[in-house]
Structure 1
Amino acid sequence: MFDLLFFVLMSHTAYGDVSYSFPEEMKRGSVIGNIAKDLGLDVNTLSSRKARIDTEGNRKQYCDINLNTGELIVAERIDREGLCGKKASCVINHELVLENPLELHRFILNIEDINDNSPQFTESVVKFEIRESADKGSRYLLDEAHDADIARNSVQSYTLQDNEHFILNVLTRENGRKYGELVLNKELDREQQKEVTLILTAVDGGTPPRSGTVAIHVTVLDANDNAPVFSQAVYKVSLPENAPVDTVVVTVSATDADEGQNGEVTYEFMTYAFSHLSEIVRQLFFLDTVSGEIKLKGLVDFEEESSVELPIQAKDGQGLASHCTVILHVIDINDNPPIIVINSLNSPIPENAFPGTEVGIINVQDRDSENNGQVRCSIQQNVPFKLVSAALTIMTHT
């Protein structure tokens, strides 16, 4: 959350936002747009008025202004995936600051995705151990391909190499991501074929499309009739971001109707799916392989990750497995103080300055959300200045 404030001594006109949309990975020096023209500014005064680009929150400056032409140009390489990850919208807020008189114009850079990433599987080979007694129609979850691009440029389809025993079923999660299931279409016979190798291909929707492949290696096993079954397909839990280390997040539970070693269930994170989370998130959780208890082994931060998805696998002694998902919602607490940044300050001030003269611009931000991020600002009494929010009507100081 943020709020812009002005030290003022005279009336001020609020300026509207200007936005520019352009693709990522444009070369340095490429023209984004003519901000002087778009804002109705006199190009000939840009140098004398010390026109400059400022970034909110001291972020990296991705663009600059050509003082001779008024054009915005790319100043740094912009990698949309590195900057915004999988967010649907990638927006960078900048400000154009001018002096004499002091003016502040906000503008927005909307970075558009290009198809510069291919689908990738975490492993080069996905291995399954399947009993020859497996029924036709049995399903086996496949490694989901990851594509750093978004929307149509992300993974759109999967294809499976033609074979005698398996077909591919493609499904879509609630978040729109696609994944596949291997479906047994003809019963296996270990005495005839001990191993089956297939190729799975993931294709994105770019023009031209990009693809990635993974090998599927199936080992056919002899006679364990039941796979573990979770008590819930999805476990939804909430946890405050100040929860201490060793806090129990949730305990997952799966049962197996078989006896002995075939009915002994152990739990593990599904490594190929879990690898899609950041390295920091990987280090936050501990799963007891016997009890299914998940504990915190690090501190969660709402501002870094507000929701975490943990894929869990339960496997019996002979390798039959089932899966569930733990969805953890991190609850925000008020753990970030407001940050005050002075964007501009005219000092000293002549004693004959008229009431309403702007003397400075202050940017106030708070990383917390909702009420925790609402900021109220004040200035000490009995001084010849007042604060005026840029979001409000500007009033003349009396």
Structure 2
Amino acid sequence: MDRLCIFPGCGFVFFFVMVLYAHGDLSYSVQEELKRGSVIGNIAKDLKLGVDRLSHRKARVDMEGNDGKYCEINLQSGDLLVAERIDREEHCGENPSCVFKFDLLLENPLELHRLSLQVQDINDNAPLFPKDTVKLEITESTMRGAKYRVNAAHDADIGKNSVESYILEQNPHFVFGIQTTSAGRKYGELVLKQELDREDQQEMKLLLTAVDGGSPQRSGTVIIHVIVLDANDNAPVFTEAVYTATIPENSPMKTKIMTVSASDIDEGVNGEVTYEFSRLSDKSRKIFSLDEKTGEISVTGDIDYEEGHKYEVFVEAKDGYGLSSEAKVIIDITDVNDNAPVISLKSVYNPIPENVTPGTEVGLINVQDRDSEYNKQVHCSIQQNVPFKLVPSIKNYYSLVTTGQLDRELESDYNITISATDEGSPPLSSSKTVQLSVADINDNPPVFEEQSYSAYLSVADINDNPPVFEEQSYSAYVTENNSGSTLCSVTGDWRQNGTVIYSLLPGAGAPVSSYVSVNGDTGMIHAVRSFDYEQLRSFKVQVMARDNGSPPLGSNVTVSVFISDVNDNSPQILYPALEGNSFMTELVPKAAHGGSLVSKVIAVDADSGQNAWLSYRIVTSTDPGLFTIGVHSGEIRTQRDISESDSMKQNLIVAVKDNGQPSLSATCSMYLIISDNLAEVTELKDISYDEKIPK
């Protein structure tokens, strides 16, 4: 099913798509850069579990092979939320598919679901040229049609958000075109359409703009500086079109990776070749360097296999007067066993009753190793002689279970050391100590020191025991709009001198007697008024119990009263609002395409929880096939392109319904005019709407 979610104040519409696969797998789609707390989907609903079951079963998500926590579960609502900023370009670069893998874990019983989060690109990066200025030196004898390579702009975004077109500043000498290499890489060409005359103009500066296809559109610019000279007709040629190299992670600084080489058959300055990176990501820029004279590529930063397995960079060879060519360099990183296993205690039942049966699960352990292949294969064990063992469970989880009968009188506490060792060479290990306590149960009868005793004692009673309530505090729950409800009863252990009188103690603010009353004989507390959840959600009263001893003794107890919501408020439509006799009318462009946002119904509900969850639907419309409304967002969009045959005046009647039991609703009319501007609507002053809003 599709979900359409609107986040107030951000001005964007985000689409989340959830698919429930076989075997309990979940998949969601979410845009990058969402704010923390944004709702991705509802785990409870998608797993068909009650929200209370999620909390009881300690539902949580862990990301595979990453310490980052990018999403979390709200156990009160079951919503899967964004926990921290997600940057698609940082994690996936130009890969069209960007998927985060999580483990969704439920306990009692242990249950594991695979959860995939597809990160969608937004247009948050502008096109960027490798340099601010491109210098070209062209001889005046160059014939029309000559082409000069200009490195294309790079946009870290993908798809329609990447570079879409180029605009060259108007000039009499050059036009600009885009070419594609056999490897699929695009580059620009400056094409000479009219010969140059050095005596007329020695140089010119042309502004080239790269524009992406995102919305809003972003752009980047470069200055092409043309200097008019005499001839250089051969570009450098690399010895290889693609260079490859392999180095281990953690290679020291200044480690030589490879040397690229290009030659130019021209003589003098025209044949002198220099090298530079023509395209380099921010991450690659920090760890690789290129000698501009020798073409040697070296390590200049920390290389971590867990941060990146493969790097692709592009090297440009350029001669003295601006002719250039490009080669691709692929650098593969091999894994080194440099990460010790990490042991995480996911849950523990502490203290443990001493009468638990052998084989009882008392804890859950997770072991992760960030390395790959054999370097991440981990073995876990307990080396001590204790009545516990580790049992492999799902994937990289272990259950800590008892192996024998516990006896608190013999051993009340255990410090269990868990060791984890990987299969790397040399292997790396880590350990974690789990502290467990044994809870006492009444399994030993009292033993007298003597077999029999004789004693005679006479004691006169005095009133030295105040009344004692059964509970230290009481909680009472009542729905709003109640009438004379019984809230709870406060009773206790009154013993002798035990006739007890109950009374309310005065409190700060409104007198407590205006809220509740207490039966002086029984301790039964009643509501004396009808409560409104929207005005009052909870309050506290103090009840005193006093005996009739001499002197009288008493004690107090606090009663917390919680009021729960009922669905007694209908949705309130904020927009559109009918002011007096004037109608709020909106324009729809004649050129609007299918899916265009044309308006929005905004409503609120004074209730809370599911009683305030609103849904929208179009009850009637002038043209039923022209507009649709987002069921949860209230956004009105075109279902198809606007055509000339469509009526200029469109009237939609929209119903807004809450999710209470029973549900309440409200309706409004939305008046739309298909026109490009108000000046064109000469008959607007004569518009009247006869449609009636259904009750």
TM-score, with structure 2 as normaliser: 0.47
Residue in structure 2 matched with residue 267 of structure 1 by the alignment: 274
Aligned partners of 1:19 and 1:107 also within 8 Å: yes
Residue in structure 1 matched with residue 389 of structure 2 by the alignment: 385
Which of the residues 197, 217, 220 maps onto 2:228? 220
Percent of aligned pairs sharing the same letter = 55
> CA separation in 2, counterparts of 1:309 and 1:362?
39
The answer on 1:323 being equivalent to 2:326 is: yes
Superposed, 1:75-86 pairs within 5 Å as 75-86=83-94
Aligned partners of 1:94 and 1:107 also within 8 Å: yes
1:302 Cα deviation (Å)?
2.7
What is the CA RMSD across the aligned residues, in angstroms? 3.7
> CA separation in 1, counterparts of 2:377 and 2:302?
26
1:174 Cα deviation (Å)?
7.5
* CA 340–75 in structure 1, closer or farther in 2 if over 3 Å, else same: closer
> CA separation in 2, counterparts of 1:130 and 1:363?
65
Mean Cα deviation higher: 30-39 or 226-235: 226-235
Aligned partners of 1:29 and 1:74 also within 8 Å: yes
> CA separation in 2, counterparts of 1:334 and 1:341?
20
CA offsets per residue over residues 53-86 of structure 1, 9 Å max, x none?
A: 5555673434343333322233444443345443
Superposed, 1:224-303 pairs within 5 Å as 224-263=232-271, 265-270=272-277, 273-274=279-280, 276-278=281-283, 281-303=284-306
* Secondary structure of the corresponding residue to residue 379 of structure 1: strand
Residue in structure 2 matched with residue 3 of structure 1 by the alignment: none
> CA separation in 2, counterparts of 1:105 and 1:354?
29
> CA separation in 2, counterparts of 1:303 and 1:50?
30
Higher relative contact order (CA 8 A, sep 6+): 1
* CA 215–92 in structure 1, closer or farther in 2 if over 3 Å, else same: same
Residue in structure 2 matched with residue 335 of structure 1 by the alignment: 338
Task: Tell me which structure has the larger Cα radius of gyration.
Answer: 2
Superposed, 1:1-398 pairs within 5 Å as 16-55=24-63, 59-97=67-105, 105-172=113-180, 178-207=186-215, 209-263=217-271, 265-270=272-277, 273-274=279-280, 276-278=281-283, 281-354=284-357, 357-369=360-372, 371-380=373-382, 384-391=388-395
CA offsets per residue over residues 220-241 of structure 1, 9 Å max, x none?
A: 1134444433323332222333
Tell me the amino acid that sits aligned with residue 42 of structure 2.
N
* Secondary structure of the corresponding residue to residue 152 of structure 1: helix
Aligned partners of 1:241 and 1:332 also within 8 Å: yes
Aligned partners of 2:236 and 2:273 also within 8 Å: no
* CA 24–308 in structure 1, closer or farther in 2 if over 3 Å, else same: closer
* Secondary structure of the corresponding residue to residue 46 of structure 2: helix
CA offsets per residue over residues 107-156 of structure 1, 9 Å max, x none?
A: 33322222233323344433222222445444333233222322222223
1:353 Cα deviation (Å)?
3.5
> CA separation in 1, counterparts of 2:147 and 2:316?
15
Aligned partners of 2:175 and 2:193 also within 8 Å: yes
Aligned partners of 2:148 and 2:323 also within 8 Å: no
CA offsets per residue over residues 198-238 of structure 1, 9 Å max, x none?
A: 33232323345443333322111134444433323332222
Tell me the amino acid that sits aligned with residue 379 of structure 1.
S
> CA separation in 2, counterparts of 1:72 and 1:298?
37
> CA separation in 2, counterparts of 1:44 and 1:159?
58
CA offsets per residue over residues 319-354 of structure 1, 9 Å max, x none?
A: 544433333222333333333323223344444444
* Secondary structure of the corresponding residue to residue 239 of structure 1: strand
> CA separation in 2, counterparts of 1:31 and 1:189?
63
CA offsets per residue over residues 231-268 of structure 1, 9 Å max, x none?
A: 233322223335444443222223333334443x2423
* CA 128–363 in structure 1, closer or farther in 2 if over 3 Å, else same: farther
> CA separation in 1, counterparts of 2:191 and 2:139?
14
* CA 284–101 in structure 1, closer or farther in 2 if over 3 Å, else same: closer
Aligned partners of 1:365 and 1:375 also within 8 Å: no
Mean Cα deviation higher: 202-211 or 147-156: 202-211
1:35 Cα deviation (Å)?
0.7
Tell me the amino acid that sits aligned with residue 180 of structure 1.
G
Tell me the amino acid that sits aligned with residue 363 of structure 1.
N
CA offsets per residue over residues 158-193 of structure 1, 9 Å max, x none?
A: 343454433333234688664322233444332233
> CA separation in 2, counterparts of 1:129 and 1:293?
27
> CA separation in 1, counterparts of 2:118 and 2:149?
37
Aligned partners of 1:130 and 1:320 also within 8 Å: no
* CA 103–239 in structure 1, closer or farther in 2 if over 3 Å, else same: closer
Aligned partners of 1:379 and 1:387 also within 8 Å: no
Aligned partners of 1:155 and 1:178 also within 8 Å: no
* Secondary structure of the corresponding residue to residue 362 of structure 1: strand
Aligned partners of 2:142 and 2:231 also within 8 Å: no
* CA 203–389 in structure 1, closer or farther in 2 if over 3 Å, else same: farther
Which runs of 5 or more structure 1 residues have no equivalent in the other structure?
1-13
* CA 133–345 in structure 1, closer or farther in 2 if over 3 Å, else same: farther
* Secondary structure of the corresponding residue to residue 204 of structure 2: strand
Residue in structure 2 matched with residue 4 of structure 1 by the alignment: none
> CA separation in 2, counterparts of 1:134 and 1:336?
60
* CA 298–136 in structure 1, closer or farther in 2 if over 3 Å, else same: same
